Chains A and B, each alone.
Chain A
Amino acid sequence: MVQRVLLIEDEPNIAEAIGFILRRDGWEVVHLSGGDGAAEAARRLRPCLVILDHMLPGMSGLDVLAGLRGDPATAALPVLMLTAKGLPRDREAAVKAGATRFMTKPFANAEILAEVRALAGRD
Chain B
Amino acid sequence: MTYGFLDEEAKKEIRRSILKAIAIPGYIVSFASRELPIARGWGTGGLQVTLAIINESDTLKVIDQGCDGSVNAVNIRNFIKSVTKVKTTFSTKEASIIQTRHRIPEQELQEGQILVYQVPMPDILETVEPNTAKQKIMHANADYSKLWVLLYEDTSLFGDSRISNRYPVLVENRYAMDPSPIPKYDTLKLNNNKALQLFGAGREKKIYALPPYTKVEPLKFEDKEFLVENFEGKVCKRCKSSQSFLDELYNDDGSTSYYCNDTDYCDTYKEGKL
Are these two chains actual partners, yes or no? no
